[in-house]
Chains A and B, each alone.
Chain A
Amino acid sequence: MIQFEPIFDALGDPSRRQILDLLASGPRGVRQLSDDMPVSRSAVSQHLKVLKHANLVTDTADGTRRIYRLNADGFEVLRSYLDIMWRDGLNAFAQAAREHATAEKDKP
């Protein structure tokens, strides 16, 4: 089951959204991220911790530094949501179409 609370908390902060924006263009280390942001390296590290907890980013070791990238699982939630919406929508459409067809048939 997907945990929503950590995702929502993580996205509530503009710096963290900026980090996600930067990572959307490709994996980066803490230093590369902080170079492009108005906050300190340690602040970036803290934000990354929160994002990792929310499963929005993952990290891998590269020598002594860690490389962060977007985690696709966050997108899975969006996909699941749209999946439900269209499934419900098309089922409702099919129901309406059946009623429409019956009404047509009953016309004199």
Chain B
Amino acid sequence: MTTTDALAPVRHSVTVPLDAEKAFELYVDRFDSWWPHEHHIGDAEPDRVVIEGKAGGRIYEVGVDGSECDWGYVKSYDPPIGFVAAWQLDAQWEFDADRSKASEYEVTFEPQADGGTLVTLEHRNFENHGVGGASIAAAVATGNGWPGLLQMYAETA
């Protein structure tokens, strides 16, 4: 395993039977309606997750106890083509206001010939987390139900 491999972007894509406008709207404006709630940051179970659809908008979750946890913010917003967001979780798996330490992910919506849309997500610049990268890994291994998911991943990989 070289550094380049370990820090290579994570990429996933799906094709959906909606045009780009509707796919984009579903992704951003109704983020909470589809995001799997087992993937959360705060200690509390999430009540809802939110993407504020504008450049500079917050991305955060609200726990059932009313507590809010930021994930990051919207860096650029260009519906229905795509958006770029900062991922701002630090070594303690908590929000880090220092934007230079954030990685980023981009979601793009490409119209397909059949009227559907190819949605691609790329999460990159992991090196920005610095030591946090390894620390986040440790946090992941111990909290929020991630070990089970990681185990699942290891079994299917």
- Tell me the A residues contacting B by CB distance below 8 Å: 1-2, 4-5, 7-8, 10-11, 17, 20-21, 24, 56, 70, 72-98, 100-101
Contact = CB atoms under 8 A, between A and B. Distances in A.
B13 A4 contact: no
Contacts of A4: 137-138, 141-142, 147
A66 B37 CA distance: 46
Given A81-B137, A100-B26, A92 B36 contact: yes
A21 B138 contact: no
Interface in B22-41: 22-23, 26-27, 30, 33-36, 39
A20 B134 contact: yes
A78 B131 CA distance: 11
Contacts of A77: 134, 137-138, 140-141, 150
Contacts of B113: none
Interface of B: 1-3, 5-8, 10, 12-18, 22-23, 26-27, 30, 33-36, 39, 91, 105, 119, 121, 123, 126, 129-131, 133-138, 140-142, 146-147, 149-150, 152-154
A4 B143 CA distance: 12
B137 A75 contact: yes
A88 B39 contact: yes
B154 A97 contact: no
A81 B14 contact: no
